[in-house]
Each structure stands twice: as structure tokens, then as C-alpha cells.
A and B are shown apart, each in its own frame.
Chain A
Amino acid sequence: MHIPDAFIPLPQAAVYWIIALIFIALSLRWARNEMRDEKVPLVAVLAAGIFAIQAVNVPIPWGTSGHMAGAALAAIVLGSPFAAVFVLTLVLIVQGVIFGDGGITVMGANIINMGVVAGFVGYYSFQGLNAAIKNPYPAAFIAGWLSLFVAALVTAVEMAVAGTFPLELGLISMGLYHAVIGVIEGGITAVALYLIYTARPDLLPQPRGVSG
């Protein structure tokens, strides 16, 4: 879902950068206030793991492939959508600057889609679903799926505003491919969460309002 430079006119790309910078500033505030010393290695390992897993493009039908974004996982494990913005911003900067994956002028848009949109959708849908069904793993699967699907639709809208894709065909094709790629996102999010919670049950989200 990494947008290359040519897909968005520069003035629009600048607007996305400004919006992204606001969220990056908020994610840095999260890091200063909420990221304790002992949490730093967990954040770093999640970022490294998400970078690596993003290199694994899984084939889907229609001569297409897709990979996990990881924002839902980061937000759920670290307990904040701003954690996902923090982690995905680092990953996207390294991908864009060192590996030419995703454009430079359009990096703000990529941070919005894969960090902000996927992070917020993943985090809040997980919170709601986990409260409703009281089982974090199916909740994580659906939250992962939804995070990628909604991010893809937002990308399609940006492409329509850019004049690159017609709106309807963009939404249909992006929606079709990412409905399938979302299964990969949801599956890995649920499995990774299971592995992390099995190794460290204390990281499980505690119900709100209960002091322990």
C-alpha cells in the first residue's frame, strides 16, 4: 500500500505531510509520557519485526500480492494508537529513505494510511470487540482485517482526490485486494498476540477502571 511519489501532486502531498506531522508530534508525546524505560525494548523489537514482516509479500488471487502493515498489532500490544503511529513512522522512514519503498514527498500520506488510520481503526475496533466477546484473539483478527481494509479505502479516496484513480473503480479494486490481504493482517495479528500473551500474560490489557 506504499504510495510512490508520482501518484500524488506535490501540494496535496504537502497537506498530508502537515497532517502526518501533527500525529507524529502526538506520538512523540505518547512516547515521552507513556513509554517507560522497560517498555523501550518491546517497542523496538515490534518495530524491527514489523519491518521484517512487511518484506514478506504473500501472493493473493488476481496476480497480486500483499503484506501486513502491523499497525493494529503495535497499537494493541502497546496499548495506544499513538504507539502504532510512532512505530510505523520509523518503519516507513527507513523503507522510504534507505530502500525506496514508498515515496518521499508522499511519505506523509503513507504515515497517515498505514500508521494513523490503521492504528486507530485497529486499536478501537479491538477495544470494542474484546469488550463485547471477551476473547482477544478473534477480536485481534477482525481488528487487524478492518485496519488494513479501511486504510486501503482511505488510500483509494486520496488517489481519487489526486486524480490518479477514479473514485468508484479505485474503491472497488483497492477494497477487493485488501479484503483478501486483510486476512493475512488479521491472522498474523492474532497469532503474534497469542505468542506475546502466552510468553508474557502480564502484558494482557486490563479492564478499564479496575485498579490492581
Chain B
Amino acid sequence: MDTKNLLYFGVIIALVIAVAAPFIASSNPDGLESAFFGIFGAKEIQGSELDEDAAGAAEEQVQEITGNTFSFASPFPDYGIEGLEKAGEALAIVIGTLLVLAVALGLGRVLSRSE
């Protein structure tokens, strides 16, 4: 396969994954969040039940421990677009994938030329 086709193929695979992601991805807490909830008593380390109230309390508690209350309103929090449900998530991840592609191409072009 020549370079051009390989890269088109790669972009298509990335976009297929991006569109499918919200429909196939698990909404369980990830490894770090799960460890956090386990340590702060919102779930058992090897259990699967999450106590939502305790989880909320844990998030306030950790802010008190670290004192880091920085918050930032990102344009598409949690890979979602308001009011668009799953389709919005797919769209958000597609936008992110294309944005990463464009920034990497642009930055790569500039850096590879700056010899």
C-alpha cells in the first residue's frame, strides 16, 4: 500500500472509531476514578456498585485535601454537545479527531521544514 492510501485508510479507521465510540464505550468510572471512589468509600475496590451521594461527597473532599479548586469550562465537556445525546458525542469525538489531525499536520509541516 502506498503512503497516501495508507494514510487515507488510517484517517477512515480513526473516524469510524470516533463515530462508534459513544455507542460502544462503557460509562463505568475509569481506573483512576474507580481507585479514587474506592479509597474515598463510594465503592468497594473490587465491587461494582457506586454510591452516587458518596461519590459527590468524595469530589468535594478531595478539593479540601489538595486545595486545588481550579475549574475550567471547556466547550464540549465530557465529549458531549448539549441537547444532542449520543449523536452529539459522536460529532464531538469526530471534531476532536479531525482537530488533532489538523494540528499535528500543521505543526509537523512547520517543524519538519525548520531545518
- Which residues of B pack against A, CB within 8 Å? 1, 3, 6-7, 9-11, 13-15, 17-18, 20-22, 24-32, 34-36, 38-39, 43-50, 59, 62-63, 65-79, 92-93, 95-101, 103-105, 107-109, 111-115
B96 contacts A94, CB within 8 Å? yes
A41 contacts B99, CB within 8 Å? no
Q: Enumerate chain A residues within 8 angstroms of B79, measured Cβ to Cβ.
A: 55, 99, 101
- A side interface size, CB within 8 A: 78
> Measured between alpha carbons, how far is A45 from B11 in the docked complex, in Å?
6
B105 contacts A40, CB within 8 Å? yes
- What is the predominant secondary structure among interface residues of chain A facing chain B? helix
Q: Enumerate chain B residues within 8 angstroms of A67, measured Cβ to Cβ.
A: 25, 30
Task: Give min CB distance, A7 to chain B, whole Å.
Answer: 6
| Residue in chain A with minimal CB distance to B32 | A1
- Which residues of A pack against B, CB within 8 Å? 1-3, 5-10, 13, 28, 31-32, 35-49, 51-53, 55-59, 61-67, 87, 90-91, 94-101, 103-106, 152, 155-156, 162-166, 169-170, 172-174, 176-178, 181, 196, 199-200
A–B complex contacts, Cβ < 8 Å, 5 sampled: A2-B32, A32-B115, A51-B18, A57-B30, A59-B28
> Measured between alpha carbons, how far is A8 from B32 in the docked complex, in Å?
13
